[in-house]
Amino acid sequence: MKAVVFADRPGRALAPLTDRTCVALLPMAGKPLVEHTLEDLAAADVRDLLVVVSPHADAVEALLGDGARWGLRIEYVLARGDESPDTILGRVQRRLEGDALVMRGDVLRSAVIGPFLAQAGGVPGDSVAATIGGVPAGVRLVRAGAQLPLGLPGDPETPETWRERAPTVALGDARLSLVESFRAYHQANVEAAAGRYPGLLLPGREVATGVLVGRQTRLAPDCLKGTPVFIGSRCDIKGGAELFGDVVISDDVVVDQRATLHKAVVLPHTYVGELVEVSDAIVSTTHLIDIASGAVTCVTDAFLLADLKTATLGSSVGSVAHRLGGAVLLVLSLPLWLPALLLSLLRSPRAPLRRVWLLGNHTAVDDDGQPCRRRFVALEWATRISVLRHLPKLLAVVHGDLRLVGVAPLTPAQAAARTEEWEMVRDAAPAGLLGPAQLTLRADAPLEEHFVVDAYYARTRTAAGDLRWLLRGLAALASPRAWLPRRDQ
């Protein structure tokens, strides 16, 4: 028997949790949600899977691989946009030999597949579905040669499409969460971590009754003030922090001294600062989501909440490092300034140095009182050799207007001419001297292409990645292309 696992739910109701991931990959009691479904399948000895992926397909495939980790054989099906489950099932029907188990991989259930298959065997019809507490559980048996369409339920986030039309089997003592809202996600996490979803395999070791702790996690023992508490791998819970009951902390989280957590779900790579109190809430890097009201607060102060993955070289340490690096490069580049001056004088004796207005990393306040990027004067030598021409921009790096690595700085006119929303994504990253757009694109590439490359960089940048681009930029100095005169733009 093959299983078709739908892991294609974008989870719009769960934004901003799903800004950088999809529902199937959201952490649920220490594991990505879809893993619980895979483990249920493996436990029931259903080994051949077709996983339907759509948003963040690459991340899902990177996590699940070929399924060898669970003893499964996984193949992938890419769903296009908002294709209905029926259409997708029709597309893959030829690849299913015999009966198929069609299920959603982005909802949470206790282990049900074994009992369901046993009960569904006696029910006639093309398709038999499971319900838990009267709600469709997103598990169905589709018999060989079934007539499509079957009228499969749509997105669990919209109750009007989440309906069951096939004969059903009620699974009495099983548990289900559709993870359709912040509240449901929060509750499912807390209850699953407390072991109230029978049959789920929870990672970690039990250090005290009701306290599960993952690998390489440092936990000061005086932090525990209540149970149940679940802490993922590689966390640091500093002494003096207080964990009251119903706390689920994902991997790679730092909770600083005197922070208090109660009925809280903390997502990966979050820093919870000193004296911060989180209660009845989900914390996701810089977002604090209140469960009672559903209000999402974005915290920009790194003392309170921060993203450990992107902000470890935070604004202050990062910018100091970039400015120091700029100063070092400036000193090293001094021997080049004389030839640059001479070549520029040869080409344009009147104005060897050109002035360009660019938008930098310092902030200013515009006419409407909104913060915006402050413009600054960047200097360029009037030579056609690109390495020499951009030498004076190192001064802007030392001054902090540019970073060593970042998106290419725009002129005020270029920035104002942008209209599409995706073109603004690049603004999340600082402007820099070197970067993917500056190093990989040809000088005459259209501006849109720059924006695409910059947007990708802005969403995926890391400190280690920046270092790689810097090294790549330095390595490019050795290439002849950098030293050959280039056509003027």
Residues 6+ apart with CB under 8 A from 475: none
In 3D space, the residue among 429, 372, 359 whose CA is nearest the CA of residue 401 turns out to be 359
Q: Which of residues 108-127 bind other proteins (CB under 8 A)?
A: none
Q: With contacts defined by CB under 8 A, how many residues of the chain interact with other proteins?
A: 55
Segment contacting other proteins (CB under 8 A): 18-26, 65-73, 148-156, 385-393?
65-73
- Asked whether 137 and 119 are in contact (CB, 8 A), the reply is no
Q: Which of residues 197-216 bind other proteins (CB under 8 A)?
A: 201, 204-205, 210, 214-216
176 binds other proteins (CB under 8 A): yes
Q: Is 355 in the site for other proteins (CB under 8 A)?
A: no
Residue bearing tokens 């725009």: 410
Cβ-based nearer residue to other proteins, 183 or 384 = 183
Q: According to the binding rule CB under 8 A, does residue 254 interact with other proteins?
A: yes
Q: Amino acid identity of 448?
A: E
Cα distances (Å, whole numbers) of residue 252 to 206, 257, 285, 474: 19, 16, 11, 32
Cα separation, 108 vs 347, in Å, equals 69
User: From the CB of 471, what's the least distance to other proteins, in Å?
Assistant: 18
Q: Is 303 in the site for other proteins (CB under 8 A)?
A: yes
Residues with Cβ < 8 Å from 370, sequence gap 6 or more? none
Identify which of residues 131 and 348 has a Cβ nearer to other proteins in the complex. 131
Residue among 277 and 448 whose Cβ is closer to other proteins: 277
- Of 91, 314, 372, 459, the residue at the interface with other proteins (CB under 8 A) is 314
Cα 450 to Cα 390: distance, rounded to the nearest angstrom: 18
Distances (CA, A) of 449 to 185, 404, 456, 462, 488: 38, 21, 11, 21, 19
Sign (positive/negative) of CA torsion 69, 75, 79, 84? negative
- Contacts of residue 471, defined as CB under 8 A and 6 or more positions apart, other chains included, come to none
Q: Which residue lies nearer to other proteins by CB, 214 or 352?
A: 214
Choose, by CB under 8 A, the member of 1, 20, 59, 70 that binds other proteins.
Answer: 70
Determine how many CB atoms are found less than 10 A away from the CB of residue 215.
Answer: 12
Contact between 227 and other proteins by CB under 8 A: the answer reads: yes
Q: Is 49 in the site for other proteins (CB under 8 A)?
A: no
Judged by CB under 8 A, does residue 258 bind other proteins? yes
Instruction: Please identify, using beta-carbon distances, which residue of 310 and 438 lies nearer to other proteins.
Output: 310
Contacts with other proteins by CB under 8 A lie at: 39, 42-43, 65, 68-71, 133, 135, 175-177, 183-184, 187, 191, 194, 196, 201, 204-205, 210, 214-216, 225-228, 234, 236, 242, 244-245, 252, 254, 256, 258, 260, 262, 271, 274-275, 277, 279, 302-303, 306, 308, 312-314, 316-317
